[in-house]
Amino acid sequence: MHADNWAIRAKQEGFRTRAVYKLDEIANKTKVLNKKQYVLDLGSAPGGWSQYVKKKSPLSEVFAIDILNMEALDGVHFFQQSIEEIDRIEAINILKEKFGLVISDIAPNLTGINAIDVENIYELNSLTLETANKYLNKSNGSFIMKTFQNNMLKNLRKKMELSFKIVQTFKPAASKKQSGEIYLYGAYK
Ligand SMILES: C[S@@+](CC[C@H](N)C(=O)[O-])C[C@H]1O[C@@H](n2cnc3c(N)ncnc32)[C@H](O)[C@@H]1O
């Protein structure tokens, strides 16, 4: 499907972003939304993924953070904070090791200078992975994180493999081919 058609479909189905169809494909393949659980949405604005989680799994409780503001959504606790500050958010901090799913669609601002962008992506992904390890339930938690195809990807995947028993890479149909964007999935079991 052409990129614009995903956007049209999102509008028709009442979703805030076309990005929901990337999560939809990964969630269907990995079955991460089949249960009631706490879900942590990192880099959540404008809210497509949080909306999608609540639609697919209405009994799940979603905690979402972004440096940008996000319009309120029923059943979603939103905090306008950087992921670097997540431990200071009391409502989230008390749920350490209690989340069943952590999803991250965070992307850093790109400078256009490849070496700097690759480094920034790696740093942000490493912090996101650390956060997931801190907040996920170690027995059955799973993690979905956006990253990009570059020369640090192998290292990032290796880092994921140190934490998770299962690690898989996804390039959803709704993700623009030329973007280099991909998603890593990790599960403890
Ligand atoms: C591609 S958008 C997410 C779209 C979202 N999945 C949706 O469907 O609505 C990426 C988001 O990451 C956020 N972001 C970037 N750096 C961040 C950080 N350090 N902490 C929290 N959010 C961040 C951006 O503000 C942006 O809203």
* All structural domains of the chain with their residue ranges: 3-187
> Where on the phi/psi map is residue 14: left (φ > 0), alpha (ψ -120 to 50), or beta?
left
How does pLDDT run across 80-101, given as a tens digit for each residue?
A: 999 999 999 999 999 999 999 9
Q: Tell me the CA–centroid distance for residue 175 and ligand 1, in Å.
A: 16
Q: Which atom of ligand 1 is nearest to the CA of 44?
A: 5
- CB neighbours of 153 closer than 8 A, spacing ≥ 6? 147, 182
Q: Whose CA is nearest to atom 10 of ligand 1?
A: 106
- Owner of token pair 């850093």: 108
Judged against a pLDDT cut of 80, whether residue 2 lies above it is answered with no
Residue pair 48/109 in contact (Cβ under 8 Å)? The answer is: no
Residue 38, number of CB atoms within 10 A of its CB: 19
pLDDT of residue 189: 87
Q: What is the dihedral of CA 106, 85, 15, 39, to 10 degrees?
A: 100
The residue whose two tokens read 């956006």 is 146
Is residue 3 scored above 70 in pLDDT? no
Q: Nearest 10 degrees: CA dihedral of 162, 146, 113, 158?
A: 10
Catalytic residue check, 146: yes
Q: Is 82 in the pocket of ligand 1 (CB under 6 A)?
A: yes
Sheet strands side by side (includes 99-104): 76-80, 61-66, 38-42, 99-104, 142-148, 181-187, 166-170
Q: What's the CATH class of domain 3-187? A: alpha beta
Residues across the chain: 189
pLDDT, position 46: 98
Q: Tell me, what's the pLDDT at 178?
A: 85
Asked if residue 139 has pLDDT above 90, the reply is yes
Q: What would the mean pLDDT of 167-184 be, rounded to a whole number?
A: 94
> pLDDT by residue (tens digit) across 44-68?
999 999 999 999 999 999 999 999 9
Residue 154 has a pLDDT of 97
Q: What is the pLDDT of residue 73?
A: 97
What number is the average pLDDT over the span 137-152? 96
Residue 65 alpha carbon to ligand 1 centre in Å: 8
**pLDDT of 118 strictly over 80:** yes
Say if ligand 1 is within 6 A of residue 68 CB. yes
Determine the pLDDT at residue 76.
Answer: 98
Model-level pTM? 0.97
Amino acid identity, position 123: E
pLDDT the model gives residue 80: 98
Q: What is the pLDDT of residue 4?
A: 83
